[in-house]
């Protein structure tokens, strides 16, 4: 393969790698957001249970 093909291949791999990293970061942020929401809901639920018991 010629140098032009190698250069093109390297550029495509770089684009794919960056796209994967952005998507991975987006997924991690989404999971973190869902986890925080679940913790918040759990805390509110526990607080309501304690109010009912009092």
41 pLDDT higher than 80: yes
* 45-50 contacts at long range (C-beta below 8 A, 24 or more positions apart): none
> Which tens digits make up the pLDDT trace of 5-23?
999 999 999 999 999 999 9
How many domains is the chain built from? 1
Q: What are the structure tokens assigned to 11, written together? A: 């550029």
* Cα(37)–Cα(7) distance, integer angstroms: 45
* Cα(14)–Cα(20) distance, integer angstroms: 10
* Cα(8)–Cα(16) distance, integer angstroms: 12
54 pLDDT higher than 90: no
Q: Which domain holds residue 48?
A: 1-54
């Amino acid at each position: 393969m010629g140098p032009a093909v190698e250069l093109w291949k390297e550029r495509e791999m770089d684009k794919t790698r960056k796209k994967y990293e952005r998507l991975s970061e987006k997924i991690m942020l989404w999971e973190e957001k869902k986890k925080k929401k679940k913790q918040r809901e759990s805390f509110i639920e526990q607080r309501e249970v304690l109010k009912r018991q009092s």
